[in-house]
Amino acid sequence: MLVNAGKTIVANLLGNLSSQAAPIYFAYGTGTTAPTENDTTLVSEVARKAALVYYESVLDPNDTIYIFAVFDIDTATTVREIACFDAGTGGNMLFRELKTVSCSANSELQLGMRITSKITT
């Protein structure tokens, strides 16, 4: 769910209205509370990491941004919530979603999103 702060992030980035930092930090947690538009944090954040950002060509050259982060999972855990932020700590949340992903010990968790631009007239 795109949260209220996330809508402001998008408006600021598209309008070049401020020195808005790009939302390129993924986080995951174990909270199970349903997302709301007013969310600003994960319920129970476990880890946050800067993402890698790539351009891809899906419909047109460089029309898609792929943002992803890979987390090392040391002990078995069940990921219940994910989010994207504009800072490594604190910061503004772009979105929050509930997911159920069981991760075994000594594994990896990859979180990512693709944003494709398409203009129609």
Residue 18 has pLDDT above 90, yes or no: no
Domain of 36, in residue numbers: 4-116
If we measure between CA atoms, which residue out of 121, 83, 117, 111 comes closest to residue 13? 117
Number of domains within the chain: 1
If we measure between CA atoms, which residue out of 31, 47, 48 comes closest to residue 39? 31
Q: In this structure, is residue 105 part of a structural domain?
A: yes
Q: What is the pLDDT of residue 32?
A: 97
pTM of the predicted protein model = 0.89
Residue 120 has pLDDT above 90, yes or no: no
Give me the residues paired with residue 56 across strands: 64
Q: In this structure, is residue 121 part of a structural domain?
A: no
